[in-house]
Every structure is written in structure tokens, then in C-alpha cells.
Structure 1
Amino acid sequence: MSTLITGIHSLVTNDPELGLGPLGLLADAAVVVEGERIAWVGPAASAPSGTDTVVDAGGRAVIPGFVDSHAHLVFAGDRTAEFNARMSGQAYTAGGIRTTVAATRAASDEALDANVARLVGEALRQGTTVLECKSGYGLTVEDEARALRIAGRHTDEVTFLGAHVVSPDYADDPAGYVDLVTGPMLDACAPHARWVDVFCERGAFDGDQARAVLTAGVARGLVPRVHANQLGEGPGVQLAVELGAASADHCTHLSEADVAALGSSGTVATLLPGAEFSTRAQYPDARRLLDAGATVALSTDCNPGSSFTTSVPFCIAVAVREMGMTPDEAVWSATAGGAAALRRTDVGVVKAGARADLVLLDAPSHVHLAYRPGVPLVTAVWRAGVREV
């Protein structure tokens, strides 16, 4: 099955060889999709004929599907009261995670699966075609393993986050919990995951504990990523770079050494403005990272406590308004940047051979994602060549 999408006023390819600038912008463009892949990209006037289907974009913009490289979707329960209290003046700490842990443990597999499906569908309708999903709300061997199995029904990008916080069962023995995570829990969970993550932060795990978890995961074939420097400066970023982690996520409080390390490494700095929005915290300084040469990704951090949004367009608008990013940089970071954070070259780009993940906007340019915040601009979504929206 082949489809020609033509009449594209502005096409973001993220391939500078195809068009202007880092976004590889093409005007008056067309795309041919064959099966799951993109077969051809170029000027609409030169588009090949003979496709099975023709879609007229009508002078609107097309961009790659968003790649959300940081999300926590396997959970149950509601933390509205916590959010309301925080908006009334209470400070955010990592401890609220334990509320979700209790609800998640009590939920059935069917309820958890249905919630993940609901959130994945919600994200898809807003243009997200690739989504990473973490465990971390079970904190027992059995509950973490089932969270990963459920996540794996919805995405290939599954992350083991048994080291989210110290389990309430080990409140008086954090060293014992680290032993559990690095031993029996990883043994049970590694076969169901691609990534290993740790919340390296005050109130969660210190540098030595985080190192133990990550190296144990690497020994079992998982690739590291790190929740780093969200609530204050700490060892998370330096540990991520040292261990060759795919990403250091949050990156809100960075020393000059942290910025330099990210700028000279292959570790992506994943920024999560939904968390700062929902906790009234300081936003990360994307300009500082970009100017240092760091690769930046932009993701939702969808979770029930500190960033309950699946909307990458919302995060783009906030990043442009509050984090020093240009609209071009924010869109690149939410597509190609997210792909880099997941070490994917087949998504986040529109070129021949890439997976056909495309988003049609009800606007003439990608800039409208920041220019018109809160407006539902996504009007059609193709994922792996199939029109889903």
C-alpha cells in the first residue's frame, strides 16, 4: 500500500541534506509512503505518480512524529489532592511516589493495561508516535516485572526503574533495597526491558547507590539512563556521562562542569518542562546546554504526581516561553532529539528509509506549535505508515 501526501506548505525533515537548516525545511513538498517506510521526499511538483492513495495536505505543515523518550505510564490511583496542596504552597519532594506505589500494587493487570492504553492513545492523538515507558511504581520483584510486561504490550522502549525511590518495605534498610534491585529484581526484570534507570536525587538514591544499580543493569545487557539533577545539583549528570548513559533526564540544576560534560559527550540532555510547570519549580536552562553543544531532547515526563501530561505540543510551547529555546530547536528536540535519547535513527526524521511516522498540523508552519499554545493543531497522524488519527 502506497500513499502520496502532497500539498505540504512546510515539511520538517530533520535532515539538512534535504532542506534548509537543522530542520531540513522543504517548502511546497510531498512525501511518498510505502508500507511502514518513507519511500520518497521532495518537491511536490516532482512527486512520483501511481500511488494507491493521495492525501492533499492543503497547504499545511507536516513534521516527524514526536518521540517522547521519558514517561511513567504503568500506574494506578490519583494524586489530585497532592497537586492541589502543592499549588496551595506546599513544596514538592520525591516522597509522593509512594502514594502511587500503594495504588499500583493493589490494581489488577487489566486495570493497569487499560490505563497505559488510554494514555498512549491520548499521546498519539497529540502526535506522539514513539513513546518510552518506565516501571517504578511497584518496587517489589513481582510488581516491577509485571509493570514491564504491561509496558511492553504498548512500546518497545521499556525501562526498568526499580530504583525510583526506596520501597516503603525497606524504609529502614535502603542498602537492603539496593541489594534487592541489583540482584533478584534485575534478574526478573532485565528480560523485559531495554533500559535501566535510577532516580539519583536527594530523597531517592545517592551517587554510590545509583552507580550500583546502573552497573548491575549494564551487566545484564541493559543500557543506562539517569534521572539527574532535578531538585538540586548532584552526581547524576556526571555519573550518566561516565557510564555512557543514553540520556540524563531533567538536568534542571547544573554546574559548569555538568554542562561541559554533556556538551562533550554522547549523553543526551532530556528536558522535561511539564515537571517544572506542575511543581512551580525552576525551569532548566536549555540555552545554556545548546550553546555548549549538548544534544537536547524534550519530553513529557508523563506521571501522576509531578507532570500529568501526554502533550508534547504543550511541552514545546513551555520550552520556547520559559527555557530559552527557539521554536525550531524545540521541535527538533521533541522529534530528532527524542530519537537520539532512545538511540534510534529510524524515527524523528522524514527521509527515504525512515519509519513513516508523520504528523499533519492544522497550520502552515511548525512554529505554530509554540505560537498557538493550547490549540489542538494535530489533525492527522501516521505511525509506521498507518493513519491512526
Structure 2
Amino acid sequence: MIEGAGVASLLVEGIGVLVTNGPEGGVARDAALVVEDGVVVWAGERRGAPQGVEERVEAGGRAVVPGFVDSHAHLVFAGDRAEEFAARMAGRAYSAGGIRTTVGATRAATDEELAGNVGRLAGEAGRAGTTTIECKSGYGLTVADEVRSLRVARGFTEEVTFLGAHVVPPEYAGRADEYVDLVRGEMLDACAPHAKWIDVFCERGAFDGEQTRAILEAGVARGLGLRVHAGQLGEGPGVRIAVEMGAASADHVTHLTDADVDALASGDTVATLLPGAEFSTRSPYPDARRLIDAGVTVALASDCNPGSSYTTNMPFCIALAVREMRMTPEEALWAATMGGARALRRTDVGHLTPGARADFVMLDAPSPVHLAYRPGVPLVSRVWRAGRELGRESPVSRRGREFG
């Protein structure tokens, strides 16, 4: 994703529908947006827009929405698992064990190969409207490989998550507790300076509740924020641990008890739904309607990874959420923008109200409903991040922070 030249002030006018996610409805028609020095300073009906800007862009009736905030992605890896996907489509069930295939390929890759792959995926995401993305480690599972994965991720985003507790690697087979000790000790000591968050895959075939809690407590002690993979393959303790420990998000949450829903509704933990995973594994989709009606804050994210959700496309996830998870188009867009921001505990992104970072997307459509109404169509026309228009054709040609 190539950043274009920035300007000190910018007026985008002639917007058919402007979604701001603001407190008063969050939608304006025949609207305009004014940006100064990368920050939104005005948004509303065009007739009230301030003048005297350095540059004008005519939207021609197109819709403008906040840049997508993808709060769950696994971009640092090598290889692919296309054969595994094909086998699932032929009837084989999904399990967490396939992660180990990617671990082997990632360990064998060079730093340059890993960075090149992240750059490729970051470019895809940016061209599809993502302006903030979270990136996890978790395919190295040695001290050295987890550290280098985090260093690679930090070249592209500040939302970096240490996921040494993804699965137990082959060399620790039958010795899960020893691996947990490594993760919350030497590995965490080496990785914490390079990460903002810590995550655990709390699931059968990965880590149980006691192990999850121990790893998260060690992360808190080193100043990291908490995230939890919970309830993807079946009911378990992950959601309640996330809420009890004040995690920013519990992710997947496909399988929930009533107690899990009540816990999420009563706490500050965001339920991050990842419909790309259900699409790719032919698993039941989460019931977003159940969560929303209970008062739970919901986010949508891509879960981009080579095994169970090999997509960077947030509009695709929005379409799935509307079609398969009983969300309205408005709810799905909010979850992919403001919901993702809340899952990352960010107040500067996910909305287009004064003071927000000027991350926005122009759609080649008159309404954001078209994101779900026209699934699979490349409706993202132009993308701005911090007031700079991003190139839409060229891949990433340099290493450097692309998201934040």
C-alpha cells in the first residue's frame, strides 16, 4: 500500500451518504468532510462545510465511511494450506492441529520473506479499505522466532500481539505445562518489549483455562493488554476468563453459554466475530443477533491466516455478517469500524467526528448498504489514512509502518 502526497487541508464534498459513527445518528446525506493535518475537523451536510481548504475532492454522490479497523489478524507466516482447505471442502473437519504446518514453514523462512508476505497482505487489506490492523505472532513458537515475528509485525502496525500460546509446538508434545512455563517466562520476557498485547488460544487442542489464566497474568505483569481466542470450536472457559481479567476482546465466540453472554454484556470486553473462519471451515456462524440484543459490544475482523480464514477483505466479512449472522448492514459496518476500534481500545479511529484521525473510504456506491448488497464486488474506490490518499494499484514497495 503506497501512501500518496498529503495536504494540509482537504474538503471532500458531494458525498451521497457520510457515515461518521458519531453520537447523533452518525449519518449525514449530501455531505462533506473537512480534514486538516490528518485529522477530521468538520463533518456534516455540505451546505455547512467551511471553505478555504487547500484541496477539494468531489465524491459525485458516492458514500464515504470510516476506514475499516481489523482487530484480529495473523499476517506473519510463510507457506499456505490450500490442500488443507480443499480437504475440508471435501468433508474433513477443522481442528487447531493444522497450525503446526504453518509453524514449520515460518521457522524456515527468512526475515525478508516474512516481511514480504506481511507487506503483500497489508497491501491487500489497504486496497480493500482497512486503515488500522492488528497483527499477531504465533507461528514461530520458539523464543527467537516469536521475537522476530513481532519485529516484522511492528514494521507495519503498532497493534502487535504476542501469541506464543497459539498451540503447543511439536517439540513439546506431551509436555504442555513445560511449554506454558516457557511462554510466560523466557519467551514473554524477550517478546514483551515488541508487543502491545498478549493473546492465548483457549480451546481444546490448544490451552485450557488454568494455562490461559497463568499466561495472561504473566502478560499483565509485563504491562501488556489482554486478548483471548475463546469459544471457536466449542464452549469453554475462555470468555469468562477474558471478562474477569478485563481483556479488551474475546475473539471467535462462536459457541457461548448463557453465562458467557451475560458476562460479556456486564463487562467491557468486546466480542470480536470472525465470519471468514466459519466460511472457510464450514462451521456454524456466531449468533451476532443474540449478542447485540443482549447489549454486548460486537466487532468484526478478518482473522486473516493461512489455515482457517485466508482473507484480508473486510467488506467480505461485512457481507457474511449480514447474510449469515443476522446483523443489519448498519450494525455490520459499525462493528467493522467502531467495534474494531473498541476492541483495540482506540478512540482516534473507527469514526469520522472532529478530532478523529482522518481514515476514510470512498465507495463506488451511493450507500454503504451496498457492501452487503453487492458481495464480492470491489466497491472500495479510494482510501485515505491520516488524510493521505493511499495508492490503489501498486503493492507495498517499502518496509515501514503502514497501519497504526
> What TM-score bracket applies, with the shorter chain setting the length?
over 0.9
- Which residue is 1:271 aligned to? 273
In the TM superposition, residue 34 of structure 1 has moved relative to its aligned partner by 1.0
Partner letter of residue 141 of structure 2?
L
- Which residue is 1:284 aligned to? 286
2:317 aligns with one of 311, 315, 318? 315
In the TM superposition, residue 45 of structure 1 has moved relative to its aligned partner by 1.1
Inter-partner Cα distance in structure 1 for 2:140 and 2:171: 11
- Which residue is 1:13 aligned to? 20
- Which residue is 2:339 aligned to? 337
- Which residue is 1:169 aligned to? 171
Inter-partner Cα distance in structure 2 for 1:47 and 1:329: 28
Secondary structure at 2:213 match in 1: helix
In the TM superposition, residue 43 of structure 1 has moved relative to its aligned partner by 1.4
Inter-partner Cα distance in structure 2 for 1:349 and 1:303: 27
Structure 1 residue 42 and structure 2 residue 44: aligned?
Answer: yes
Gaps of 5+ in 2: 1-7, 392-404
Secondary structure at 1:132 match in 2: strand
In the TM superposition, residue 40 of structure 1 has moved relative to its aligned partner by 1.2
Q: TM-score, normalised by structure 1?
A: 0.98
- Which residue is 2:351 aligned to? 349
Partner letter of residue 110 of structure 1?
E
Output one character per residue of 1:12-56: Cα deviation in whole Å (capped at 9) or x when no partner: 000023xx3xxx110111011112111111211121111111000
1:358 aligns with one of 348, 357, 360? 360
Gaps of 5+ in 1: none
In the TM superposition, residue 326 of structure 1 has moved relative to its aligned partner by 0.3
Secondary structure at 1:60 match in 2: coil
Secondary structure at 1:328 match in 2: helix
1:295 aligns with one of 297, 308, 328? 297
Secondary structure at 2:23 match in 1: coil
Structure 1 residue 94 and structure 2 residue 96: aligned?
Answer: yes
In the TM superposition, residue 172 of structure 1 has moved relative to its aligned partner by 2.1
Inter-partner Cα distance in structure 2 for 1:232 and 1:78: 25
Inter-partner Cα distance in structure 1 for 2:28 and 2:217: 44
Inter-partner Cα distance in structure 2 for 1:182 and 1:372: 46
Inter-partner Cα distance in structure 2 for 1:264 and 1:329: 20
Partner letter of residue 376 of structure 1?
P
Structure 1 residue 149 and structure 2 residue 151: aligned?
Answer: yes
- Which residue is 2:402 aligned to? none
Output one character per residue of 1:62-81: Cα deviation in whole Å (capped at 9) or x when no partner: 00000000000000011011
Inter-partner Cα distance in structure 2 for 1:333 and 1:194: 22
Q: Percent identity?
A: 71
Inter-partner Cα distance in structure 2 for 1:168 and 1:386: 45
Secondary structure at 1:225 match in 2: strand
Q: 4+ residue runs of structure 1 moved beyond 4 angstroms?
A: none
Q: Which has the higher contact order (CA 8 A, sep 6+)?
A: 2
Inter-partner Cα distance in structure 2 for 1:144 and 1:122: 24
Secondary structure at 2:59 match in 1: strand
Structure 1 residue 4 and structure 2 residue 4: aligned?
Answer: no
Inter-partner Cα distance in structure 2 for 1:378 and 1:68: 16
2:192 aligns with one of 190, 193, 197? 190
Structure 1 residue 225 and structure 2 residue 232: aligned?
Answer: no
Partner letter of residue 154 of structure 1?
F
In the TM superposition, residue 95 of structure 1 has moved relative to its aligned partner by 0.3
Inter-partner Cα distance in structure 2 for 1:177 and 1:297: 31
Q: TM-score, normalised by structure 2?
A: 0.94
Output one character per residue of 1:275-330: Cα deviation in whole Å (capped at 9) or x when no partner: 00000000000000000000000000000000000000000000000001000000
Partner letter of residue 258 of structure 1?
D
Inter-partner Cα distance in structure 2 for 1:137 and 1:11: 40
Structure 1 residue 126 and structure 2 residue 133: aligned?
Answer: no
Partner letter of residue 298 of structure 1?
L
Inter-partner Cα distance in structure 2 for 1:288 and 1:49: 45
Per mean C-alpha deviation after superposition, the further-off stretch among 315-324 and 38-47 is 38-47
- Which residue is 2:257 aligned to? 255
Inter-partner Cα distance in structure 2 for 1:370 and 1:269: 21
- Which residue is 2:5 aligned to? none
Secondary structure at 2:333 match in 1: helix
What are the equivalent positions in structure 2 for 1:224-243 lying under 5 Å apart? 224-243=226-245
Instruction: Give me the CA root mean square deviation.
Output: 0.6
Partner letter of residue 131 of structure 2?
T
Secondary structure at 2:60 match in 1: strand
Inter-partner Cα distance in structure 1 for 2:125 and 2:80: 19
- Which residue is 2:399 aligned to? none
